[in-house]
Amino acid sequence: MEADKHIAIFIDLENVYYGLKKYHLDPDHPEPSHNLFLRLQEHYGKRAIRMIEAYADFERLDLSMTSLQRKRVHVHQVYGNGRGGDERKNAADIQLCLDAMEVLYRVPDVTTFVIVSADQDMVPLLDRLWSRGKRVELFCLFDESLSKSSPMPEFCDQVHNLFEFLNIPQMQNLSRLDRMLQNAVIQIYEWYQDPNNAGKSYGSNWIKKDLMRRFHIDEAEVNQLFGKMIRGRYLEPYEIVVDGNIYYGYQVNLENPQVRKIVKIAGYMVS
């Protein structure tokens, strides 16, 4: 019944996408227990949800708009400024706030607003919704991207930790070295998945150079990282023969349960 549909969900998808990307996680994960959109529908119940709105510059995100639409998500393309890294900025959060305010005043049947974002710019919106007597629930990653002094939880009736909500709590308290290790495992796995590297081996020197460049670390740190991967059996030796010459390298050890978990959480299907 239409009267049951009292929940409106607004997702700052750009914010969530890059927050999860640090952990090689995909908000539209192929495994339902890790999929943000399916988990939201499961948590609240499809009958209770009036709308799910997602905002991002989809030209910069490796996400399928069609896949989201099939999950009854309304996608909003919001163009950015064309820059990368810390200088990247778009109007996704602004458009989200405008649309949420429109729903606040034009759709009185909506009694619960669900905001998925760790962006501090959402505080005025949360305050306005809460002060108008609406129930406000917030979903965000509980990591360094959410400042300990952030006032966001103060304007919400309930705050959800996305690590727990997406059934990946082991990712929350990773040390810097452990996070680099997981990212390094995925990088090496993806290197072998690249068709351009078919018939090649990824040597230790090249692996270390790539990790130094990617993580902005020095030689001592990369040696510590690589040594931990070897000692923990995250990697295994790999060799190929080309024109009678033997080339040595390393590949991820899929016999290691922890490696399998890292690769599967990153969205890859492994048997």
Domain segments of the chain as ranges = 2-171, 176-265
pLDDT, average across residues 153-171: 85
Per CATH, the homologous superfamily of domain 2-171 is: 5'-nuclease (3.40.50.1010)
DSSP-derived 3-state class of residue 90? strand
Lowest mean pLDDT segment, chosen from 8-22, 101-115, 166-180, 183-197: 166-180
What's the pLDDT score for residue 37? Answer: 97
What's the pLDDT score for residue 87? Answer: 44
Q: What is the pLDDT of residues 215-262, one digit of tens each?
A: 888 898 899 999 999 999 999 998 888 778 888 899 999 999 889 988
- The C-alpha angle with vertex 39 and arms to 33 and 44, in degrees rounded to 5, equals 145
Using 50, 70 and 90 to split pLDDT, how confident is the model at 169? low
Q: How many residues does the chain have?
A: 271
- Specify whether the CB–CB gap between 150 and 76 falls below 8 A: no
CATH topology of domain 176-265: Arc Repressor Mutant, subunit A (1.10.10)
pLDDT at 131 over 60: yes
Q: What is the pLDDT of residues 50-97, one digit of tens each?
A: 999 999 999 888 899 999 999 999 999 998 655 444 444 557 888 999
- The C-alpha angle with vertex 269 and arms to 181 and 140, in degrees rounded to 5, equals 60
Using 50, 70 and 90 to split pLDDT, how confident is the model at 132? very high
- The C-alpha angle with vertex 129 and arms to 125 and 135, in degrees rounded to 5, equals 130
Secondary structure (DSSP) of 204-251: HHHHHHHHHHHHT--HHHHHHHHHHHHHTTSEEEEEEEETTEEEEEEE
Q: Which residue bears the tokens 């993806």?
A: 190
Query: Where is pLDDT greater, at 134 or 154?
Result: 134
What's the pLDDT score for residue 202? Answer: 93
Amino acid at 130: W
What's the pLDDT score for residue 104? Answer: 96
- Specify whether the CB–CB gap between 121 and 143 falls below 8 A: no
Q: Which residue bears the tokens 């997602």?
A: 54
What's the pLDDT score for residue 1? Answer: 39
